[in-house]
Amino acid sequence: MDVIRDSIEERANEMCKKKEEQRAAPIYPHSAAYASEHGEMAQYRASLQASLACKEATRQAISAHYGDNRLNTEAAVKEVLEQFGPERMQYILANTVLKKDHDGRISRDNKAWAKTIPMPEDGGDPRHSYVLVVDKVNPGLTDLFLKQARKVLQAPEKSSVLEKLKQEPPERRPAAPKKREPER
């Protein structure tokens, strides 16, 4: 039984480590050709693998949280956000929207937002960015997912201002001068 328990623990630790590596892998900002020329293929591949995993996790989260003609966007977004962080999730969603710019099921607001997200160069090979499109999911559901993701990602900014206001001490007015009693 100890051997089985140890192997389960070891596998769980490996999965946690892999999850942490995916979350920590920065988005590589250059093309594969650039990475090859500059000896940075390991960083390029790590970024690509994490992006592919994020794309697949997004697809799976949408599928898993869709039922009875409803998408539980809060749970789906939370699942992907915890696993990959905001930067990679935004990158995958923006890339998807930019590649599906012609699709009327994606809102104008989400299309405008996608244009504001910096995208890594593709080195003249657009196939790279097409590999990272969330597909096999209705674009309308992707749009709902993105709407919730944007809401979640904007919420901390608003709450942090509220928290700062709560933490600031209230304005103190100078104390009214005490009345002096007449000397006797």
What is the mean pLDDT of the segment spanning 98-107? Answer: 95
The mean per-residue pLDDT over the stretch 41-66 comes to 95
pLDDT of residue 156: 60
**Does the pLDDT of residue 105 top 60, yes or no?**
yes
SS3 state of residue 93: helix
The number of residues making up the chain comes to: 184
CA distance 10 to 77: 29
Model confidence at 6, pLDDT cuts 50, 70, 90, reads confident
Is residue 28 predicted with pLDDT exceeding 70?
yes
Q: With bands split at pLDDT 50, 70 and 90, how would you rate the model's confidence at 66?
A: very high
d(CA 175, CA 32): 68
Non-local CB neighbours of 64 within 8 Å, separated by 6+ positions: 76, 79
- pLDDT, greater one: 8 or 60: 60
Higher pLDDT, 35 or 17: 35
List, for residues 113-163, the tens digit of each pLDDT value: 999 999 887 766 677 788 999 999 999 999 999 999 999 999 765 555 656
